[in-house]
Amino acid sequence: MDMPVYLDNNATTRLAPEALEAMLPWLGDQYGNAGSAHLLGRLAEGAVVNARDQLAHLLGCQAAEVVFNSGGTEGLNHAIRGVFEALPGKRHFVTTAVEHSAVLALAAWLQHQGVAVTVLGVDAEGQLDLAELEAALRPDTGLVSVMAANNETGVRFPLEAVARIVKARGILLHVDGTQAVGKVPLELAALGVDLFNLSGHKFHGPKGTGALFLRRGVRIKPFMVGGGQERGRRGGTENVPGLVGLGVAADRARAALPEMTRLEALRDGLEAALLAGVPGVKLNGAASPRLPNTAMVSFAGVEGEDLLLRLNEHGICASLGSACTTGQKEPSHVLRAMGVERGLAMGSLRFSLSRFTTEAEVERLKELLPKLAVSHRH
């Protein structure tokens, strides 16, 4: 059997070989606790400091503003719950209808705590109405939370414009940057966001690692109270091997940003082939600025789940949308928010490339997918 073609990189990415190599000593002889004062402890502490510097360089922020954690979901919880625990007088939260399911779950949790939640819609291309955002802000708004880029469609929000509107009202701004890191350049110091979370396994780092950017001067409640790690903002013994891998992955991602133009060309070629070879294809969000690696394609008259299974039989790995909602029988909440008709939404697949994706792999998909989509139309 041919090697699998992996086109589900928005769900997770392969660990960069350089990151794995850098991690191995810290899984073996270099096993010290970064909080210990002896030699092995000091070596581990130095490794954590270096990883923090590497990640800060990728994000365009200060190292002291990086709070290490276990990944995207923890970062979201720390940011959103931490703000509302720290600001008891602010009982209003603003987010969008196309956020990751973890953010929408937190919005529901806030409502149970008595917080008013405003969920902003998007247009047919997945974009925000900035006037609607401005109109939604209130004196008691504690936090606005938007994503940098959508995990299903790749559509990017205009963060600079969002930040200008939100910060002009003195309101805290959180950005879920999980999908953007390593795919687009970032300069958080200049952007104006207060909180920004990320997950290492989305840019070829190890699973179980991540960080929350917390702008200097912003005070929120700690996520876990413990031994004072992360300047008291997130207790728990540091995952030294994981953080070493995260730091190396961040360095490699920064160096590889120019490669994103190659991925964009591969993605555009795939979409062009589908438009030419399959009647009734819809490219979701294609008129908006998008991540260079992501295509969310809807096929008329085809069940997405069936098409996904057929691709899997041929060794091609893709997804119906978010990996966190696989197995659900409802259409994507993102496509629903964009007004995509239910039948078309149910025939949707996401293809997400990485810098390890080859032209030959995409060519294999371009040859196979139109045939499968046409032959399995009902």
176: nearest Cα among 152, 201, 193: 193
Active site residue 61: no
Question: Of the residues 49, 324, 368, 374, which is catalytic?
Answer: 324
Contact 176, 197 (CB under 8 A): yes
153: nearest Cα among 351, 20, 356: 351
Question: What is the spatial distance between Cα 162 and Cα 173, in angstroms, rounded to a whole number?
Answer: 9
Residues 6+ apart with CB under 8 A from 19: 204, 205, 206, 244, 245, 246, 248, 249, 252
270: nearest Cα among 287, 288, 289, 286: 286
Question: What is the spatial distance between Cα 273 and Cα 261, in angstroms, rounded to a whole number?
Answer: 18
Contact 317, 5 (CB under 8 A): yes
Contact 143, 90 (CB under 8 A): yes
Residues classed as catalytic: 324
